[in-house]
Homo-oligomer: A and B are copies of this chain.
């Protein structure tokens, strides 16, 4: 499938609709060079420091956390409308003891600008290099969010990834809607 370079703002209305309804796939590389992928339902995208930025939130308990700490980069991949079950599965098991790429027939293709791979079957890809990180501060959250999002106290690290490259399938719109 031919993929072409896009502006990070292109298709953003579709990309974030998918994030909200299905989730995105956050791909990384572990210290042994093995591709890893997790599902995310949370994240923000925009511009900071004059750069296009994708902010992802990762709990320290996740395998992806180790991977991003090791490589300093990640990719965000927007799944097609046919990949919902795969996203659900990727949000259910850990890359510590599952090769989710192999189990779900996903293809890890090397990133063009980062060490982390992309998930080739997805329709949009954002290659991101961490330029800042920050941790959620429990004292700055309302109790309602702590109760629902952090019952185990596993507060997220926010990775601010500069989007070094963004590209999409030619027929991205029909694959997402």
Contact = CB atoms under 8 A, between A and B. Distances in A.
A20 B16 contact: no
Interface string A1-34: 0000001111111101101100000000000000
Interface in A120-162: 131-134, 136-137, 140-142, 145, 148-149, 158
Interface stretch (A48-56, A82-90, A110-118): A48-56
A98 to B, nearest CB: 25
Given A42-B49, A44-B45, A140 B133 contact: yes
A45 B131 CA distance: 18
A47 interface: yes
A16 B47 contact: yes
Q: How many copies does the complex hold?
A: 2
Contacts of A149: 49-50
Interface residues of A, number: 38
A68 interface: no
Given A13-B12, A55-B44, A136 B132 contact: yes
A11 B13 contact: yes
Given A45-B45, A132-B137, 14 more contacts: A9-B13, A20-B47, A44-B44, A46-B46, A46-B55, A50-B149, A55-B55, A131-B141, A131-B142, A132-B136, A132-B145, A134-B134, A134-B140, A134-B158
21 contacts: A8-B16, A10-B13, A11-B13, A12-B12, A20-B47, A41-B47, A43-B47, A44-B47, A44-B53, A44-B55, A49-B145, A50-B148, A131-B141, A131-B142, A132-B137, A132-B140, A132-B145, A134-B134, A134-B136, A134-B137, A134-B158
